[in-house]
Amino acid sequence: MLSHLRALEAESIYILREVAAEFARPVMLYSIGKDSSVMLRLAQKAFFPGNIPFPLLHVDTTYKFGEMIRFRDWYPRSIGAELRVHTNRQAIAEGANPIALGTSRCCSLLKTRALLDALAEGGYDAAFGGARRDEEKSRAKERIFSFRDQFGQWDPKNQRPELWSLYNARIDKGQSIRVFPLSNWTELDVWHYIHIENIPVVPLYFAKVREMIVRNDTLIPPEHNVIPLLPGEKPQPVMCRMRSLGCTPCTGAIRSEADTAPKIIEELLRFRRSERENRIIDHDQEGSMELKKREGYF
């Protein structure tokens, strides 16, 4: 492999092994997205020829794309990883969706609350996430080992200093550490690695003709149809792809012809548009990601 990706890979593998050595019950948050796919490959590499010594956890909001769920139920198992799935059943039973509750409250119940419950139920003391520092401003300040109190919350003003590659793994009972092995990767690095390592990802990332609701510049997927259609609106075929994968009501598609990893990289170079742009949640208010992270979101 080539030099700078090899250095990133070596650093991530080091981080994965530190966690496995220092924590009693680690878990890897598995979001089914491209970053999770890379993280999973790095975990395979870190513990080869042994198995990955911790389970994967998917927090399922039930609003994920069908293609994501099919991929989730196939790929981790195919490489011998153990997958656990958690859903906030009560909130779903009470009809939680982003239109009825607003995106902020919906995320809080189906993602943050569900995640914290799942972590508490599993007794996990360390949880890997695939977040990268280049994604968003508040993430640029995230530690690689990020301390969470017994309520799973983040205090950005009181983070542990993190020097060299010496990670402080000490916690008391009930507290936990979120670990971000991909902190220093960029979106381009991730796609480049997927390409040269030939890592399977959900087909939604690749362009093809899909049925979409076209509203101004936004392409809204009709799946899990909770967004009310405006008069005269109906899904129409559009050549498009997903730049990041979330819940169908809150994830827009982008018009694209990129149907291979190299073409996606080419597209990234041409359109320098933040990958989170099509995630509606980040734009609720300035700094909304920081608010969510303080509450326990990844």
Q: Which residues bind other proteins (CB under 8 A)?
A: 1-7, 9-11, 13-14, 17-18, 20-21, 44-51, 53, 133-134, 137-141, 156-157, 159-166, 168, 170-172, 183-184, 186-188, 192, 195-196, 262-263, 265-266, 268-270, 272-274, 276-277, 283, 286-287, 290
* Residue closer to other proteins, measured from CB, 59 or 81: 81
Burial class (CB within 10 angstroms; exposed 0-12, middle 13-18, buried 19+) of 120: middle
Q: Of 33, 113, 28, which is closest to residue 279 (Cα–Cα)? A: 33
What type of residue is 275? E
Pairing mode, strands 26-29 and 126-128: parallel
Long-range contacts of 138-142 (CB under 8 A, 24+ apart): 138/287, 138/289, 138/290, 138/293, 139/289, 139/293, 142/180, 142/183, 142/293
Alpha carbons 43 and 75: distance in angstroms, whole number: 14
What type of residue is 113? R
Q: Of 173, 130, 121, 169, which is closest to residue 146 (Cα–Cα)? A: 169
Residues paired with residue 254 on neighbouring β-strands, in sequence order: 241
Cα angle 7, 13, 15 (rounded to 5 degrees) comes to: 105
* Residue closer to other proteins, measured from CB, 48 or 74: 48
- Per the CB < 8 A criterion, the answer to whether 47 and 20 are in contact is yes
Cα angle 216, 220, 226 (rounded to 5 degrees) comes to: 120
Q: Identify the DSSP state of 273.
A: -
Residues paired with residue 58 on neighbouring β-strands, in sequence order: 85
